[in-house]
Structure 1
């Protein structure tokens, strides 16, 4: 493990921003098949990083992606979930909740570090290394189109779908509304 200074998160690259090239990866899915970003060239990729299989927030997020999978496919997107869990654990999680998309086992944290989502976390006073829930929308040319850092699960999949359909994400609508000048009465 890399040496750390107090208060400094290490072990990850910065989060790729919109317009930058998406880092490539090769990871096994829940069935042991190798999945790479390159194999989805020409399609939008919804790459979502989540902390742990079969936990409340992660289950809700996975099931929301499952429930919207046909709409996401219709919008031309492929969904890939990534966590540090093993392929065996992913297989149980995918089977339990009938997840129709690959869950990638990033047990060595290579993809999560490349995407800047692996780092130091604190929960109830305990400090540990883990994934910060983050979603990347990657365009058909392999460029990052949009990043949702520190995802709040409720409504997240609808934001992703809205952006794929060409609508502004909810956060952008709120920001635009705040910047709009008041209309005289």
Structure 2
């Protein structure tokens, strides 16, 4: 299994299907890391839709979305569940950021965060506008996550 990228590394390109709740509709699309060059990207990997800690994490990021976006950041939630599950989760919790599906965990593997039993370790990566890893938080067990305010603080340290 690959190790997690180091600060300053350029993570590999990926494209995942996902959707975003907006105006009552769940808009489907493909999301490419490469196409976000020029913007910081927050990648929030989480083990599963509608689980207690994952719900708290994604609700925190959705509630703090304006704060994260004010730093120019794009925020994506990524897990192995399919698009239908993501849509139900987004609607039930009014989550406003795109939720991406990594069904075979290929992207999670490329970030070195797959784990037995839970599928992947709860992890957050901030990629700077140039495509380099600026900051990461990878849990061993997955019961904690950095709140949106902590992510905003990290985004504030990015060069403008």
What's the counterpart of residue 156 of structure 1?
A: 147
What's the counterpart of residue 30 of structure 2?
A: 34
What's the counterpart of residue 173 of structure 1?
A: none
Distance 1:54 1:166 in 2: 32
Shift of residue 160, structure 1, vs aligned partner: 0.9
Residue of 127, 130, 136 corresponding to 1:141: 130
Distance 1:44 1:86 in 2: 25
Q: 4+ runs of 1 displaced by more than 6 Å?
A: none
Q: Does 1:165 align with 2:156?
A: yes
Distance 1:70 1:159 in 2: 14
Q: Does 1:79 align with 2:75?
A: yes
Moved more, 131-140 or 22-31: 22-31
Larger of the two Rg values belongs to structure: 1
Matched positions, count: 148
Taking structure 1 as the reference length, what is the TM-score of the superposition?
0.76
Shift of residue 129, structure 1, vs aligned partner: 5.3
SS at match of 1:29: strand
Across the aligned residues of Structure 1 and Structure 2, the Cα RMSD in angstroms comes to 1.5
Alignment of 1:64-75 (within 5 A): 64-75=60-71
What's the counterpart of residue 22 of structure 1?
A: 11
SS at match of 2:135: strand
Distance 1:156 1:24 in 2: 26
Segments of 5+ residues of structure 1 without an aligned counterpart are 1-11, 121-127, 168-185
SS at match of 1:16: coil
Distance 2:50 2:155 in 1: 27
SS at match of 2:11: coil
Q: Larger strand proportion, structure 1 or 2?
A: 2
Segments of 5+ residues of structure 2 without an aligned counterpart are 20-26
